[in-house]
Amino acid sequence: MPVKKRIPFVAFRTRVRDETIGGPNPYRWEVRTTEDYFSGKRVVLFSLPGAFTPTCSTQQLPDFERLYDEFRKVGIEAVYCLSVNDAFVMNAWGKALGLEKVRLIPDGSGEFTRKMGMLVAKDNLGFGMRSWRYAAVVNDSVVEQWFEEEGFSDNCESDPYSASSPQNILETLRTFDTARLGRVPIKF
């Protein structure tokens, strides 16, 4: 995905809590679009192969949650995690990890991931079609910075993870903002 390119318009089928619904599953369907998530905001979007998978659940998503306030300090208004999983899976994953800050986006059909050019086959792992691991800084629906893991391919034997880590993105944002403002970088 080239920098300065507008992200594709997609409608996501989400499940949101609704206290007016009784019973053990008080959720209703809500359609949210890319405009809802990205319009008029500077955000970090990161996408990963799947909910409940090892690197995604023990490193990437928990680290974005832990470093959320640091992203806010460099002008990021929200952090979104997107995966080719349905809303039920994404909600269960967020609950299992105790997420409070990072928002999850279910790309159940893979439409957004496909339109971003990041849909890959992971049949070698029994996953089917999934997202390649990447991240982006998106400013008012336009890609400002892009972080893609190396080795993009179908049925990749490895699971690279460094370029799209929150630590790398934060470092890049601090350096970018420092250069733009003419300041000396601050290391945390």
Concerning whether 156 is annotated as a catalytic residue, the answer is no
pLDDT at 186: 40
As a whole number, the mean pLDDT across the chain is 92
Q: Which of 56, 82, 90, 143 is catalytic?
A: 56
pLDDT at 126: 85
* Average pLDDT, integer, range 34-40: 98
Kindly indicate the confidence band of residue 13, based on its pLDDT and cuts at 50, 70 and 90. Answer: very high
Q: Residues 9-180: name the CATH superfamily.
A: Glutaredoxin (3.40.30.10)
Q: Looking at the predicted structure, is the pLDDT value of residue 122 above 80?
A: yes
Q: Looking at the predicted structure, is the pLDDT value of residue 153 above 50?
A: yes
Q: What pLDDT, in 10s, does the model give residues 46-101?
A: 999 999 998 889 899 999 999 999 999 999 999 999 999 999 999 999 999 999 99
Contact 159, 49 (CB under 8 A): yes
Q: Which residue has the higher pLDDT, 185 or 119?
A: 119
Domain boundaries along the sequence of the chain: 9-180
